[in-house]
Amino acid sequence: MFERILLMALFFLTISILVGLYRVIKGPSLPDRVVALDTIGINIIAGVAIISILLNTHAFFDIILVIGILSFIGTISFSKFIERGYIIEYKRDY
């Protein structure tokens, strides 16, 4: 029963990732794509957590942290690019 619930959750997370992927490809503007990429990252984290419950192991927890860090930095750099037009500046003037 519990395993079936986990498999159903994994299925719906997969559908959610696919919908996000559609928004990344089709999205009219750049902010849509950035938000969709962030959503895909969070869904992947949830999927890895469910898989590690299903396989009854704790070897995947490092992967969760790494995906979280990379998704965070990617979202921040995209946001800064949208807001300012550059990502890393040589010397800031404030």
Partner 1 sequence: MKSNDVILQTVTKIVTFIILTFAIYLFLAGHHEPGGGFIGGLVITSALTLLYLAFDIETVREGLPVDFKVVAAIGVFIAVATGMGSLLFDQPFLSQTFGYFNLPIFGKTELATAVLFDLGVALAVVGTGVTIILSISGDA
Can you state the angle between helices 2-26 and 30-54, rounded to 10 degrees? 160
**Burial of 66 from C-beta contacts in 10 A (0-12 / 13-18 / 19+):** exposed
Count the residues of the shown chain that bind partner 1, applying the rule CB under 8 A: 21
Residue 1 as a binder of partner 1 (CB under 8 A): the answer is: no
Query: Smallest distance from the beta carbon of 1 to partner 1, in angstroms?
Result: 31
Main-chain dihedrals φ then ψ at residue 58, nearest 5 degrees: -115, 30
Query: Cα 66–22–76 angle (5° rounding)?
Result: 40
**Nearer Cβ to partner 1, position 14 or 57?**
57
**Nearer Cβ to partner 1, position 11 or 72?**
72
Contacts of partner 1 in 54-83 (CB under 8 A): 59, 62-63, 65-66, 69-70, 72-73, 76-77, 80
Q: Which residues bind partner 1 (CB under 8 A)?
A: 59, 62-63, 65-66, 69-70, 72-73, 76-77, 80, 84, 86-92, 94
